[in-house]
Structure 1
Amino acid sequence: MDKKTLSERDICTKFITPAVAAAGWDIQRQVREEVTFTHGRVIVRGKLHARGKARRADYVLYHAPNRPIAVIEAKDNTHGPGDGMQQALDYADALDVPFAFTSNGDGFVFHDHTVDGSAPGAAVETHLTLDQFPAPADLWARYCTWRGLDATSTPKAEAPYYDDGSGRAPRYYQVNAINRTVEAVAKGQQRVLLVMATGTGKTYTAFQIIWRLWKSKQARRILFLADRNILVDQTKNNDFKPFGAAMTKITGRKIDTSYEIYLSLYQAVSGAEEDKNVYKQFSPDFFDLIVVDECHRGSAADDSAWRDILEYFQSATQIGLTATPKETREVSSTFYFGEPVYTYSLRQGIEDGFLAPYKVVRIDFDRDLQGWRPPRGMLDKHGQPIEDRIYNLKDMDRQLVLEMRTQAVATKVTQFLKAGNPYAKTIVFCDDIDHAERMRQALVNLNPERVKENRKYVMRITGDDAEGKAELDNFINPEVRWPVIATTSKLMTTGVDAQTCQLIVLDQHIGSMTEFKQIIGRGTRINEDYGKFWFTIMDFKKATELFADPAFDGEPVQIYEPTEDEPPTPPDTDAPPDGLDPVRPDPGDDPPDADRPDDDTAPRRKYVVGGDVTVHIVAERVQYYGPNGALITESLRDYTRQCVAKQFRSMDDFLRRWSSADQKKAVIDELAALGVLWEPLADEVQAKTGQPLDPFDLICHVAFDQPPLSRRERAEGVKKRNYFAQYQGAARQVLEALLEKYADTGIEPIEDLKILQLPPFDRIGAPMELVKAFGGKAGYTQAIADLERQLYPPRQA
């Protein structure tokens, strides 16, 4: 047998899998092949979307289900045995495993991250023959040493996951988070922090952590704390449902201590008055484990009533969950809980394709930028004399209400929805309840036809409005159309699982990075069943400037400053940290309790000015989420040239790739994966040329400065060359219709065989009949290739 002639799959089947099996690995239980562990980044093209390349490991080896410990990258025998190592190490890092192997069928190259390369005679990478592959017990022992697990903690860390037999399994980053947390607790760590971006399944992750600790009897009685009723109810009814009769929600003032799993609002068990501190009905050592959801809020402040609960149960292991750890000079999540045992960021979630990318529409008004000064002695609509000074963006909707500004915001929102999908779920974040009500009225008046269809088209959902709050579940339910637009202040900044939210409007002053992250998180969920793959942020108050702050998507850095006379207590000791500087966070920085109105705590004087003071847009720009996680603000043309230059050295190089591609869609997808933004690029070029260009001409024109041809011009050129003369009957009708479809919609649709099911092809004949008119599928495919060669003839020298 000549190995050089074998495919990579043959190498796996004939050499790698047998070698792994011979080492003692259970092929059915411990070895998985071709493991795809990401979805591939969502790439938006017009109203369509595509997926970037998903990450797929050739092999993942497991100690037990959801306990990966090694990856193997295979290559065919034309490669060296170590050629795939960098790729294997990349996958090993993502899957949080220390062992990476590569093989071409001759042997293995073994990278062992547990080895101290500085030790005499120790080698991080070694060559192994096929019969030297390590046994499962060998790698597991090395893994435990690497993780710091000893004879006592190892059995605890091996506690099984919950499996209901449905096939649902945690995603790779959830596995990392769960294993890291369970291992930390098994080793005796008392405070554990887990940071996961909004929309990545923190509650399901928490459930699996609690389940494993509960089943292994490391935690017999557990308290799950949240600060929103909706969070507690969603948790109890969904992810935590398997706990069944062992679980209860604390609702009254009397505690039943016969349960094992307790879910509660902070507010339900604590209060400013001692008789409201229901949690004290439990003994201080009652709970073995407390899980704190959204721990960046009250539990991060050392003088809060919420922190009192944690300190009362200080002997319990405490796990903090957050998408946005709070780190200021007054408040610190990491000071109390310690450094995160695992972090999964928004950027990583978007890159992996688990979270939705976004584009930003920034709109600036003249009064915000240039300021407005009232004429001397001017009274507002309520008869108040307006203080004589210059009002600008920082004053809008706080000290000064310009009714025309509210109207202008509502108009832009309405125009955006009407131009796309008027039923796209939309959240408008306002500065306070009064602002949210004015915005609701403006949107109602601008959308009379939708409001006539259903009066709940626009609803104010704030803490003080019972009817609005009652519609929150309908808003977040993908199956319920109404409400479509929600105006709010603080109530919907967090804990709202709005899977189909496609537009987030920022008309709110946001000075807190924590709150900004939470608000952006309302749009980051993907819901494929309802076509939600991306979302838009419309910003009227420069809030999106926070995207440029390194803290937006970076690791949390502790900058908390304890008092000088008392040193900080290490986070992983049993004693709670004391001696913290008792400074309360800004009340405007955190969402208030779910059962209180969400207005600011201190009243402000507002001046309301009517329609005599006009407001105009002076600047509007669109920014796009780029492949590196940063917003693209440069010229689209310059950015496109840079993207194309990464793949093609010259126009001839591009033309060769385009001509040789069996499907042009492959080239289009390659460039999209590199960051080419087809939709905005096509819109920008069409605005200047007046003609819709297909991707080929867009690249030739923008990247290589060639005069463009429109799709219609290319189609007419094919007709003039009388290309169809060689075809008769149904075959000719199909090709003529395909050419017309190309002129209307571009190259990609005509490459998809499913197009034959659509008009006008369905009037010519059934898809199978149409394919037979070309002599079969091979003939049809050849005809499409010939048509594409006619559309893109060789460039004349």
Structure 2
Amino acid sequence: LYFGIYQTLWSPDKDGVRLFEQFPHDFFDLVIIDECHRSGFGTWREILDHFGSAIHLGMTATPKQDENIDTYAYFCAEEPEVEVDPEHPEQGTWRPPAYLYSLGQGIEDGFLATYKVHRVRTTVDASGLHLQDAIERGAEVFIPEEVEPREVYTTPQFEREITLPDRTRAMVKHLANLLRRFGPMDKTMVFCVDMEHARLVARLLQDEFGPETGLDNYAVPIISEEGEEGRRWLEDFSDSDKKAPVVATTAELLSTGVDVPSCRNIVFMKTLSSPLLFKQIIGRGSRLDPATDKYWFRIIDFTGASRLLDKWDRPPVPPPEPPKGPLTAVLTGHVFHAQTGDLIVGAAVSVRTGPNTQQGPIRTDEDGAFSFTGLPAGTVTLIVSYPGFARRQVRVTTIADKEVTADIALKPAREAGGKIRVQGLEVTIADEAIFLIEATGEQLSLSEYRDYTRQRVIKAAPTRRTLRDIWVNPARRRAFLADLRRASIHPEVLGEVLGKTEADAFDLLSHIAFGSSIRTRDDRAAAFRNREQAFIMSHGENARRVILELLDKYRVGGVEQIRPEVFQVSPFQEWGGATKISHWFGGTEELKEVLDEMQERIYPEAEVMV
């Protein structure tokens, strides 16, 4: 069994022989490539081709599929070809992986934390920023000399091309209110546009929470420029046993390779277009953490990044067909300075002919010329670069048995211009969608979600009495709750956003569906003790202790605590567990009858007869 990394395998010895070349072609029977979305291209492809007789098994959580690298095209070439969607054959075919394990399946199987989406838009994100309008409303606008302003700026340009401190403050203020509601000490990652933005967000959150928590490192920027202090902050943030830092802001550093199991909130203040990067970022929140009782996390989305969620578990589009036909086309040309016309010697030139296939890079000769032979006929991509110049990528159409010429002009690279800065805007929250219906990808506001929940509950239980009959039957209740969760209805989340975290789940659902009052578990436990004295006193002293302890378990955790498995935990375990406790009730069946009767009596039938 051999372990290696690409860089080591590619390194040559004193005679110029690379390490992988020192092994015979048939030395390995199986080559396993971890993070295989990085392979199948360039020098890595040469290593794999050297061991071409072996089975290549690629493993990745982030497969790529574009004109540059196609993980599917390389590793799935020998898999059976199937339709992308059997119900829509016009979508074509693809070769799926030998084994596919989706995020949704990982959540379903209990390996990953599930997620809830809380989407927020500011007024400026909803309508865009018209510079002239901002000036007319009295905002201060600073435009660097070298920048040509746009007429309208939208979310993707915010903090990249134009800095809006008032927008950032509005988002941070709203986030602070959410954190106070959800739990101000819950570990939170905030993904920002760049390092300057990350510093600003961290400072504003520190100003919000530093005084009230007494922590001078409540919110910290974890960015490359923070050096040793940043690395120390990251270690402390990743440690579930350390309460601070609570919030980490970053631009890129936390997107991959960081394990923070206790992270409960992933916040987007930057726009994303890549499902790959989005998946990597969300992975930071999907870790389970029994140590902090974390089994789900929130996505708090200010920039619409959560629109990428519905792409996770879809099969990819069919891979592009590689060029066919004879490899007889020729492509030649020159590379020159766009402003002076001088030929550029030593420019790097390569031709991409398809996913995972490329010729070059080669260098232009003393005349600034390049030449490629043995190319397929069709569209290829010519890639040209040279230090100090902007890289160019040009599509060229080649012709079989003929030479095509393409002369490439490179412009000198210039430093990015400064950002436009606008201050004095009035920015508020325009709308807020808290809930994602996972089956459809639809995002709903709280009022819309309540109406959606009401319809689903009434469909299963048309009356409050029917709902109570379902609820007091453990098997029917669990099936009912499982159906609700499959429909993205989670009573515990509803309780949180309604500010009723201590409410009984039955009462929450009954309130939403039928308008009944909301009772807390404390209310129901106290009512049980007062109303059911005859039931309690009908049992012996030890049995009464058990009933009252079960009632306290319900008060803390809900009706699902009243089940046989509860006797495996303290204090029941110390009392002898289910076996000994059952004797106090006259036997196992009698104990089970008491558990069922307690659930009936916590939700008395009389209260739904009114």
Q: Could you tell me the TM-score, scaled by structure 2's length? A: 0.65
State the Cα deviation string for residues 272-330 of structure 1 (Å, max 9, x = none).
xxxxxx98455275674654433334x36x5x565565567767654432222222345
Structure 2 partner of 1:335: 73
Task: Give the distance between the partners of 1:431 and 1:346, measured in 2 at CA.
Answer: 26
Which secondary structure does the structure 2 equivalent of 1:603 belong to?
coil
Which secondary structure does the structure 1 equivalent of 2:63 belong to?
coil
Structure 1 partner of 2:430: 618
Report the CA distance between 1:406 and its aligned residue: 2.3
- C-alpha change, 1:414 and 1:695, in structure 2 (3 Å) is closer
Q: Does 1:344 align with 2:101?
A: yes
- C-alpha change, 1:311 and 1:484, in structure 2 (3 Å) is farther
Task: Give the distance between the partners of 2:582 and 2:415, measured in 1 at CA.
Answer: 72
Contact 2:161–2:419 (8 Å) recurs in 1: yes
- C-alpha change, 1:351 and 1:630, in structure 2 (3 Å) is farther
- C-alpha change, 1:792 and 1:451, in structure 2 (3 Å) is closer
- C-alpha change, 1:343 and 1:785, in structure 2 (3 Å) is closer
Contact 1:757–1:766 (8 Å) recurs in 2: no
- C-alpha change, 1:531 and 1:546, in structure 2 (3 Å) is same
Contact 1:425–1:501 (8 Å) recurs in 2: yes
- C-alpha change, 1:384 and 1:501, in structure 2 (3 Å) is same
Which secondary structure does the structure 2 equivalent of 1:320 belong to?
strand
Which secondary structure does the structure 1 equivalent of 2:418 belong to?
coil
Query: After the TM superposition, which residues 6-21 of structure 1 pair with which residues of structure 2 at under 5 Å, given as runs?
Result: none
Structure 1 partner of 2:505: 695
Q: Does 1:679 align with 2:492?
A: yes
Query: After the TM superposition, which residues 525-604 of structure 1 pair with which residues of structure 2 at under 5 Å, given as runs?
Result: 525-548=287-310, 551-560=311-320, 562-563=322-323, 581-582=380-381, 603-604=416-417
Which secondary structure does the structure 1 equivalent of 2:152 belong to?
coil
Task: Give the distance between the partners of 1:774 and 1:740, measured in 2 at CA.
Answer: 19
Task: Give the distance between the partners of 2:262 and 2:13, measured in 1 at CA.
Answer: 38
Contact 1:295–1:320 (8 Å) recurs in 2: yes
**Residue 789 of structure 1, aligned match among 579, 585, 600:** 600
Task: Give the distance between the partners of 1:292 and 1:767, measured in 2 at CA.
Answer: 49
Report the CA distance between 1:515 and its aligned residue: 1.5
Structure 1 partner of 2:346: none
Task: Give the distance between the partners of 2:267 and 2:303, measured in 1 at CA.
Answer: 10
Residue segments in structure 1 that go unaligned for 5+ positions in a row: 1-213, 215-220, 226-248, 258-277, 589-599
Structure 2 partner of 1:296: 37
Q: Which has the higher contact order (CA 8 A, sep 6+)?
A: 2
Structure 2 partner of 1:272: none
Structure 1 partner of 2:201: 439
State the Cα deviation string for residues 747-777 of structure 1 (Å, max 9, x = none).
344667569968xxx9xx9999999987788
Structure 1 partner of 2:119: 362
Task: Give the distance between the partners of 1:430 and 1:656, measured in 2 at CA.
Answer: 49
Task: Give the distance between the partners of 1:364 and 1:279, measured in 2 at CA.
Answer: 58
- C-alpha change, 1:411 and 1:516, in structure 2 (3 Å) is same
Q: Which letter maps to 2:309?
A: F
Query: After the TM superposition, which residues 406-425 of structure 1 pair with which residues of structure 2 at under 5 Å, given as runs?
Result: 406-425=168-187
State the Cα deviation string for residues 147-206 of structure 1 (Å, max 9, x = none).
xxxxxxxxxxxxxxxxxxxxxxxxxxxxxxxxxxxxxxxxxxxxxxxxxxxxxxxxxxxx
Contact 2:236–2:245 (8 Å) recurs in 1: yes
Contact 1:694–1:710 (8 Å) recurs in 2: yes
Task: Give the distance between the partners of 1:392 and 1:518, measured in 2 at CA.
Answer: 25
Structure 1 partner of 2:420: 607
Structure 1 partner of 2:191: 429
- C-alpha change, 1:743 and 1:407, in structure 2 (3 Å) is same
Contact 2:354–2:380 (8 Å) recurs in 1: no
- C-alpha change, 1:477 and 1:582, in structure 2 (3 Å) is farther
- C-alpha change, 1:369 and 1:653, in structure 2 (3 Å) is closer
Which secondary structure does the structure 1 equivalent of 2:135 belong to?
coil
Contact 1:625–1:632 (8 Å) recurs in 2: yes
Task: Give the distance between the partners of 1:531 and 1:714, measured in 2 at CA.
Answer: 25
Contact 1:430–1:489 (8 Å) recurs in 2: yes
- C-alpha change, 1:683 and 1:417, in structure 2 (3 Å) is closer
Contact 1:461–1:486 (8 Å) recurs in 2: no
**Residue 278 of structure 2, aligned match among 516, 522, 535:** 516
State the Cα deviation string for residues 595-647 of structure 1 (Å, max 9, x = none).
xxxxx99735312334x223211111212464x48566483345435654776
Structure 1 partner of 2:152: 390
- Which segment is superposed worse, 729-738 or 406-415? 729-738
Report the CA distance between 1:510 and its aligned residue: 0.9
State the Cα deviation string for residues 337-391 of structure 1 (Å, max 9, x = none).
3342221111221222222110111110111122232427954398999937332
Q: Percent identity?
A: 29
**Residue 519 of structure 2, aligned match among 710, 714, 735:** 710
Which secondary structure does the structure 2 equivalent of 1:342 belong to?
coil
- C-alpha change, 1:449 and 1:583, in structure 2 (3 Å) is farther
Q: Which letter maps to 1:792?
A: P
**Residue 110 of structure 2, aligned match among 353, 358, 381:** 353
Report the CA distance between 1:678 and its aligned residue: 0.9
Query: After the TM superposition, which residues 430-509 of structure 1 pair with which residues of structure 2 at under 5 Å, given as runs?
Result: 430-449=192-211, 453=215, 455=217, 458-462=220-224, 465-469=227-231, 471-479=233-241, 481-509=243-271
Report the CA distance between 1:458 and its aligned residue: 2.1
Q: Which letter maps to 2:425?
A: V
Q: Which letter maps to 1:620?
A: E
Report the CA distance between 1:483 and its aligned residue: 4.1
Query: After the TM superposition, which residues 145-164 of structure 1 pair with which residues of structure 2 at under 5 Å, given as runs?
Result: none
Task: Give the distance between the partners of 1:734 and 1:321, measured in 2 at CA.
Answer: 51
Contact 2:119–2:302 (8 Å) recurs in 1: yes
- C-alpha change, 1:484 and 1:358, in structure 2 (3 Å) is same
Q: Does 1:326 align with 2:326?
A: no
Q: Could you tell me the TM-score, scaled by structure 1's length? A: 0.52
Task: Give the distance between the partners of 2:501 and 2:37, measured in 1 at CA.
Answer: 51
- C-alpha change, 1:607 and 1:619, in structure 2 (3 Å) is same
Report the CA distance between 1:553 and its aligned residue: 1.5
Report the CA distance between 1:398 and its aligned residue: 0.5
Task: Give the distance between the partners of 2:465 and 2:537, measured in 1 at CA.
Answer: 32
Contact 2:222–2:253 (8 Å) recurs in 1: no
Contact 1:358–1:625 (8 Å) recurs in 2: no
Structure 1 partner of 2:135: 375
**Residue 21 of structure 2, aligned match among 273, 276, 283:** 283
Report the CA distance between 1:459 and its aligned residue: 3.7
Structure 2 partner of 1:727: 537
Contact 1:461–1:472 (8 Å) recurs in 2: no
Task: Give the distance between the partners of 2:551 and 2:532, measured in 1 at CA.
Answer: 13
Q: Which letter maps to 1:540?
A: F
Residue segments in structure 2 that go unaligned for 5+ positions in a row: 78-94, 328-351, 361-373, 385-389, 392-412
State the Cα deviation string for residues 107-166 of structure 1 (Å, max 9, x = none).
xxxxxxxxxxxxxxxxxxxxxxxxxxxxxxxxxxxxxxxxxxxxxxxxxxxxxxxxxxxx
Task: Give the distance between the partners of 1:691 and 1:432, measured in 2 at CA.
Answer: 37
State the Cα deviation string for residues 511-569 of structure 1 (Å, max 9, x = none).
11222222222222223344231111111111111123xx4311233443645666899
Which secondary structure does the structure 2 equivalent of 1:344 belong to?
coil
Q: Which letter maps to 1:623?
A: F
Report the CA distance between 1:254 and its aligned residue: 7.2
